[in-house]
Amino acid sequence: MDTMHDRIKKLGFKDFVTVDYTMTGDEYLAYQAQKRKRGHFDTYNEEVEVDEALTQSQRMKASQRMKKMSRRIQMAKKRAMKRAPSMDVLKKRANKQARTDLLKKWTRGQDKSDLSFGRRSELEKKLKKAKGKIDRNAKRLVPQMRKKDQERRSGASKKDK
């Protein structure tokens, strides 16, 4: 999923200076040392692309991070809601709706936030296995999502006037 454009890093002056950090004369060792010094080991992507469920401390850190970003996210969401969604956005929304519907069915209408962490992770594993079913349901939900969005935007423009 990670495209080349996402991995491109802005180059600075230090990227163009060749220095033998190890002072050994070995080019490979110098190259590895430079990578370590410049921080080219992608620690951010390592955290994001982990397949395992988050631990309690990771959840708390993510919660704090999202609280810091909440105002920025709210403003971006508000701006985005005024525009017509692209097909990718519609598919994403339909996919999320399909997952939620399946989750509601399995938990007999219980909200996900009311469940324990163990139960949530168990359901997440179950949802991963049901990916095909979710995709089929999402495909069926896309026209409904488009219609829902059009109604929402037309209602919003009437309220503004």
What would the pLDDT profile of 29-76 be if each residue is shown by its tens digit? Answer: 777 777 777 765 544 444 445 456 778 888 999 999 999 999 999 999
Pair (154, 120) in one structural domain: yes
Pair (35, 67) in one structural domain: no
Full residue range of the structural domain in which residue 134 is found: 84-161
Pair (90, 159) in one structural domain: yes
pLDDT at 157 (0 to 100)? 60
Work out how many domains the chain is built from and give that number. 3
Pair (93, 63) in one structural domain: no
pLDDT at 94 (0 to 100)? 95
Q: Report CA-CA distances (Å) from 44 to 10, 74, 76, 132, 160.
A: 16, 24, 23, 29, 42
> pLDDT under 50 in the chain at which residues?
42-48, 50
pLDDT at 161 (0 to 100)? 52
Pair (158, 88) in one structural domain: yes
Whole-structure pTM value: 0.52
Pair (58, 126) in one structural domain: no
Pair (59, 11) in one structural domain: no
